[in-house]
Amino acid sequence: MQAQPSNPVVLVTGAARRIGAEVARHLHALGSDVVVHYRRSAAEADGLVSALEAARAGSALAVAGDLSQAAECARVVEAAARWKGRLDALVNNASTFYRTPIGSIDERQWTELVDGNLKAALFTSQAAVPWLRAHGGAIVNVCDVHTERPLPQFSVYSAAKAGMVALTRALALELAPRVRVNAVAPGSLDWPEHVVFGEAERRAKLEAIPLGRLGTGQDIARAVAFLISGNDYVTGHVLAVDGGASLASR
């Protein structure tokens, strides 16, 4: 009897909550087996994996790791790839996000924000490349539209995400033709719990969106799925998912 081909395996970093969890759910619903990476949110990651496993047994795995450390990036990728003996896609979603008003920035904040965004994406991608090449895989980096229109008081975060855009384009050239590398740049999403925007600031952001609503994790998840498997002739592209806000600001 001929062996049945296994499902594609996707590693989603920072997948326990919010955007990452929606990406993991969506890719799983499309037939991928999903590795849910998390740093501290063990209960949320385990709950998500349990739900995915209930829908399809043997289809989800949780892996913990601090991706600000290069060795941990390699360990997480190795655990993901060894699970089913393959890795078909990597979604670099893990992120650190907080205000850094100029005049108050210190090296700790720089390290946290650059390591939690750019360094994590670089070293996780590097570790994944040999596995992705074996299956003609894809990398999708979750960036931010504010690399083009930086938010005041978020200069370090904006610089780190801009680095991820440059990394996306550089890797797209270096890894072609076997591995495609793209990015999704979300606009304003459902408000993060830990970042307090004033009512006037929230209203201004919403009024600047031509489609008239905030984005959701599902909006980002659909874009990620498209860049993984919806079109194999796209690489080095940054797809803005912002309801048209970037057009309105020009």
Q: Annotated catalytic sites, by residue?
A: 157
Q: Is the peptide bond before 5 cis (omega within 30 degrees of 0)?
A: no
Sequence letter at residue 219? D
C-beta of residue 111 within 8 angstroms of C-beta of residue 120: no
φ/ψ of residue 243, rounded to 5: 65, 20
Cβ partners under 8 Å of residue 50, min gap 6: none
> Residue 27 and residue 37: Cα distance in Å, rounded?
14
